[in-house]
Amino acid sequence: MHLAGIGAFILATGSFASAVTTTTSSSATSTTDGILAVQSPTWLPDFPVPSGVNSGYPTGAPNITDSLSRTTLNLSAYPEPWGEPSTTHPEIKAVIKAIDWSKVPKAPVRKAKSNGDLDMAGYDASKDPYCWWSDSNCVTPKVSYLPKDIYMCPNAGDWGLNYDDGPYNPSDDDKELNKYAEPELYNFLAKNKNQKATLF
């Protein structure tokens, strides 16, 4: 989970990484695009701007009296839950082609145990060759072309507020959990000096 969170965060802050110019080679994994795997996904197609959605942030006093509306989603318009995308789809092929694979570490794939925990057997955390956060809490990549993680506020007295895996969706079956679901979390933040937070 933490590894996924770090990955999402790096993708979100991909502008800190500089593009690396590469040259054409005979290797099948080489590209000339020079896009690092942590950079902003410039290879995405130009999606039209959706209509009927907010285009800014609220600036007035927060409304904590209205309840959230319930909408039945057309699930046929979404990918299959937990499904794997086809690697032969043109968009996926464009992604694979755009990445500079010479900059992707050849780290072995780590698997999970039957209980879901990461199997860290055989990994030397003291040397930490791949800056594996889940094992060593490493925040400084071992390669020069990747930026250091932003993991703390730079100034004394500053602090950031982030919620991992949340907030929950309201449930008709779990009234106890609803105390921590939308919009309760937002209302709590609004009532306490209108705090802002990021959500993972």
Quote the tokens at residue 99: 């990445």
User: CB burial class (10 A; 0-12, 13-18, 19+) of residue 39?
Assistant: buried
Q: 97: which 2 tokens? A: 């082609």
Residues in the chain: 200
Q: What is the pLDDT of residue 166?
A: 65
Confidence (pLDDT) at 114: 92
- Paired strand residues for 77: none
* Tens of each residue's pLDDT in the chain, 200 residues: 344 343 333 333 333 333 333 333 334 444 445 667 666 666 666 777 878 887 887 777 888 877 767 778 888 878 888 888 788 988 888 888 888 888 888 888 888 999 989 999 999 999 999 999 999 999 999 888 888 888 888 898 888 888 876 667 777 788 887 877 777 888 888 889 888 888 87
- Cα dist. 200→10, 32, 59 in Å? 12, 33, 23
Query: To 5 degrees, how large is the angle CA 118–CA 124–CA 128?
Result: 90
Measured distance CA(28)–CA(100) in Å, rounded: 11
Average pLDDT of the chain to the nearest whole number: 76
Fill in the amino acid letter for 196: K
Residue-level pLDDT at 137: 94
Task: Give DSSP secondary structure letters for 133-153.
Answer: HHHH---S-SSTTSPPP--S-
Express each pLDDT in 98-138 by its tens digit.
888 888 888 888 889 999 899 999 999 999 999 999 999 99
Q: What is the pLDDT of residue 169?
A: 77
Within 8 A by CB and 6+ apart from 170, the residues are 68, 178, 181, 182
pLDDT at 43: 63
198-199 and 162-163 as β-strands: parallel, antiparallel, unpaired?
Answer: parallel
| SS3 assignment, position 168 | strand
Per-residue confidence (pLDDT) for residue 131, from 0 to 100: 93
Say what the pLDDT of residue 33 is: 56
Question: What pLDDT, on the 0 to 100 scale, is given for residue 15?
Answer: 33
**Got the DSSP string for 4-69?**
HHHHHHHHHTGGGSPP------S-TT--SS-B-TTS--TTS--PPPPSSS--S---S----SSPPP
Task: Output the pTM of the full model.
Answer: 0.53
